[in-house]
Amino acid sequence: MGDGSGNTKTDMQLSCQSACENEFYGNEVEGNKYFTVQWFSEWEGYGCIASQDIDQHTLIHVEFPLLRGQQISIALKRHTNGQHTSKQDDIKYLQTECGMTDGDIEQLWSLHDQYTSNLNEKRLQGIIMSNSFEDEENNYQRRLYLNTSRFNHSCAPNIGFNFDDWNIRLYTTRDIKAGETMCLFYSDVIYHFPQEKRQQYLYGHMKFNCACSACFPCTEDPARRKEIIRKSDKNRTRLKEIARELSRRVKP
- Beta pairing partners, 36: 49
Closest by CA position to 234, among listed 214, 210, 209, 208: 214
First to last CA, the chain: 25
Closest by CA position to 64, among listed 99, 97, 36, 24: 24
- Please compute Rg for the chain using Cα positions: 19
Task: Tell me the per-residue pLDDT of 91-146, one tens digit each, with 9 for 90 and over.
Answer: 999 999 999 999 999 999 999 998 988 888 999 999 999 999 998 777 889 999 99
pTM over 0.85: no
Angle between helices 69-80 and 87-96 (to 10 degrees): 150
Kindly tell me the burial class for residue 69, based on how many C-beta atoms sit within 10 Å of its own C-beta (0-12, 13-18, 19 or more): middle
pLDDT by 10s per residue, the chain, length 252 = 332 323 333 333 333 333 344 444 444 447 899 999 998 887 778 899 999 999 999 999 999 999 999 999 999 999 999 999 999 999 999 999 999 999 999 999 999 998 988 888 999 999 999 999 998 777 889 999 999 999 999 999 999 999 999 999 999 999 999 999 999 998 877 788 899 999 998 888 888 889 899 999 988 899 999 999 999 989 888 888 887 888 777 765
